[in-house]
Amino acid sequence: MTPQRPRTRIQRRNIETILEAALEVFSAQGFRGATLDQIAQAAGLSKPNLLYYFPSKEAIHVELLSGLLDVWLAPLRAMDPAGEPRAEIMAYMHRKLEMSREMPRESRLFANEVLQGAPRMSALLGSELKELVDEKAAVIRAWSEAGRIAPVDPYHLIFSIWALTQHYADFDVQVRAVLGPGRDPLDEAGRFLDTLFERLLAP
């Protein structure tokens, strides 16, 4: 575990530096593909120094993942049951798309983890994640049954928002290879997904 209450400013700053470097390397190489040497170099620290702040490579990875879950779920948490249904869902989609633009490394970190069976996160998926999705799915179902949006399976609606937005971060290389240079995939995606969800949800 990370020291719970870093005393000095230097400690806080070093831990931040290490986590930033680890995000860079883990997201690009996966857990096994990443090495402490790479992380140390990216952080501008020595390898033993990394292990002064964290007990192991795995501890760095776990710290990254767990620290990220709240950030990752914030857009869904912010969906307001009292708001206008279509606007709320569209806003949620756009917040997720914005995260694919602003936090592609975090998206790939999660994708790597889930793709390999979530060995360090499956507990959180079945508890914290499931509970939040259950709650928001109930909200969407109510909107749907009230006729304020078209009838739609709320769980798969949420999955579709995840899949469609995260795709542009996780498969960035493929998207750019197909579209060719000189385009802004995320910008185009914003317009496309506006259309898609408008047509899907219009009552």
Partner DNA sequence: GTCTATACATCGATAGAC
Partner DNA sequence: GTCTATCGATGTATAGAC
Contact string (CB under 7 A) for DNA, positions 53-92, x = contact: --xxxx----------------------------------
Residue 196 contacts its own copies per CB under 8 A: yes
Residue 148 contacts its own copies per CB under 8 A: no
CA terminus-to-terminus distance, the chain: 50
Q: Is 36 or 169 the residue whose CB approaches DNA more closely? A: 36
Cα–Cα distance measured from residue 107 to residue 122, given in angstroms and rounded to the nearest whole number = 17
Q: How many residues bind its own copies (CB under 8 A)?
A: 53
Using CB under 7 A, pick the residue from 1, 4, 5, 7 that binds DNA: 7
Q: Residue 143 is encoded by which pair of tokens? A: 């909107």
Q: Residue 32 is encoded by which pair of tokens? A: 């096994």
CA distances from 40 to 15, 21, 60, 91 (A): 12, 8, 12, 39
Enumerate binding residues for DNA (CB under 7 A): 7-8, 10-11, 14, 34-37, 45-49, 51-52, 55-58
